[in-house]
Homo-oligomer: A and B are copies of this chain.
Amino acid sequence: MRKDSRLSGVLHVLLHMAETPDPITSEALAAAMHTNPVVVRRIMAGLRDKGYVRSEKGHGGGWTIAADLATLTLRDIYDALGEPDLLAMGNRTEMPGCLVEQAVNAALGDAFAEAEALLLRRFGEVTLAALSADFHRRYLARGGSPDLEHSHAH
């Protein structure tokens, strides 16, 4: 299974948006992430529906943040993406008639459920404001020279 990087991607985009009050176009965000504008719009659609971001068409249009980063958590973003699968493994069949498989499912299912709960709990503990603050810490630690530092020129 190819790993799903939408959460990672959308957080990246949001933190960039947090650095400026001006709208940023899908194209600019896509360039920063080395991907396609349509991909950006696609992963942002869920966030727009939840009201976390706003999009404007036409000249001067683009994406802006529409929520308080101090209350938005990674969990909110994850949910807005449609709660994609967290685990790459699962039981072969749910609700099996075979008792052997029931025993296996019970043991694995418990572990899987715990891991998922742990992830969701962690997601719920991290606000976007905290993430942004961490970025600024790294920014200063790196010397604090101008935007070049967090640009994507490679």
State the A residues within 8 Å of B (CB).
1-9, 11-12, 15-16, 32-33, 74, 84-92, 97-108, 110-112, 114-116, 118-119, 122-123, 126, 130-132, 134-135, 138-139, 142, 149-152, 154
7 contacts between A and B (CB under 8 A): A7-B89, A12-B98, A16-B100, A86-B88, A98-B151, A107-B126, A111-B123
Determine if A1 and B88 form an interchain contact, defined as CB atoms under 8 angstroms apart: yes
Distance between Cα atoms of A119 and B132 in the complex (Å): 29
Determine if B114 and A118 form an interchain contact, defined as CB atoms under 8 angstroms apart: yes
Q: How far is the CB of A147 from chain B (nearest CB, A)?
A: 11
Distance between Cα atoms of A32 and B104 in the complex (Å): 14
